[in-house]
Amino acid sequence: MRIDLNSVEYSIGNFRLGPVTYSIQDGEILGIGGPNGSGKSTLLRIMLRLLRPTGGSISIDGVDIADMMPRDLSRKLAYLPQNLFSPLNLSVQDVLLASEYSMDRRSSKLDELIDRYDLGNLRHRDFNTLSGGEKRLVMLIGAINQGSGAILMDEPDTFLDVDKEMQVMHEITALRDSGRIVVIILHDLNKLASLCDNVLMLKSGKVMAFGSTKSVLVPDVLEKMYSASFKVEQIAGMSRIEAFPRIKD
């Protein structure tokens, strides 16, 4: 599968996003980073057709998403949002089963995923009574179980305990290794560096840099993004990024 964004723009009030152009294909993790208010979550919502772009287009395997039926789009894209709630007071079981609505038959992987994350005791709980971390794990399981070719994740590490966070990061890598596309918003620069193949950096709606992780997550780029100084080292083949207060002359 291949996703192409071609000069995508979005405007509301005084905020303008774009133009954003990039392509991503099977077996790739694209990280999206940048300060708060940069348009990161907005970009994911546009990709999911939850917001309509004011310019440009998005296609999947050459088909404009504007021409896709909702069920067909859900077979292509799954979503783990930043803000999690269930307005209908659904149980965890109901939320997870809802992830299968685009499938022709029930997935055989759901029980395996529930066991893997040790969430079996939550099956019959009201989703809205869960902790933030528990909600995020349930929604992650639903997104994985949906079987879509790509999963779009908005800060999947939020509210997670350290052990669950490590498990989720490993799961994301496994998704990439299985040939699926992952587009992920992360604030932690070291997670972007360790997890992603390519990185898109946004600031105030503008694309500041896009390319391979090692070419984008460098001091020259980062110091244009944030009010800090940066040091980037290569340790065992991985980038380690440190930030320091910027000293004014």
Q: Shortest CA distance to 78 belongs to which of 177, 173, 189, 175?
A: 175
- Tell me the pTM: 0.90
What is 2-245's CATH topology? Answer: Rossmann fold (3.40.50)
Residue 160's contacts (CB-CB under 8 Å, 6 or more residues apart) are 133, 136, 137, 168
Q: Kindly report whether the peptide bond that precedes residue 19 is cis, defined as omega within 30 degrees of 0.
A: yes
pLDDT tens per residue across span 25-70: 999 999 999 999 999 999 999 999 999 999 999 999 999 999 999 8
Alpha helices in 54-158 (DSSP H): 70-76, 92-98, 110-116, 132-145
pLDDT category of residue 87 using cuts at 50, 70 and 90: low
As a whole number of angstroms, the distance between CA 208 and CA 212 comes to 13
Name the phi and psi angles at 64, rounded to 5: -65, 130
Q: Percent of the chain, pLDDT > 70? A: 94
Q: How far apart are alpha carbons 1 and 183 in whole angstroms?
A: 13
Q: Which two tokens stand for residue 95?
A: 């939320």
pLDDT band at 107 (very low <50, low <70, confident <90, very high): low
Torsion of CA 100, 179, 23, 239, to 10 degrees: 120
Structure tokens at 155: 């800060």
140-178 pLDDT, tens digit per residue, is 888 888 888 999 999 988 888 888 888 888 889 999 999
Instruction: Please give the Cα distance from 60 to 181 (Å, whole number).
Output: 12
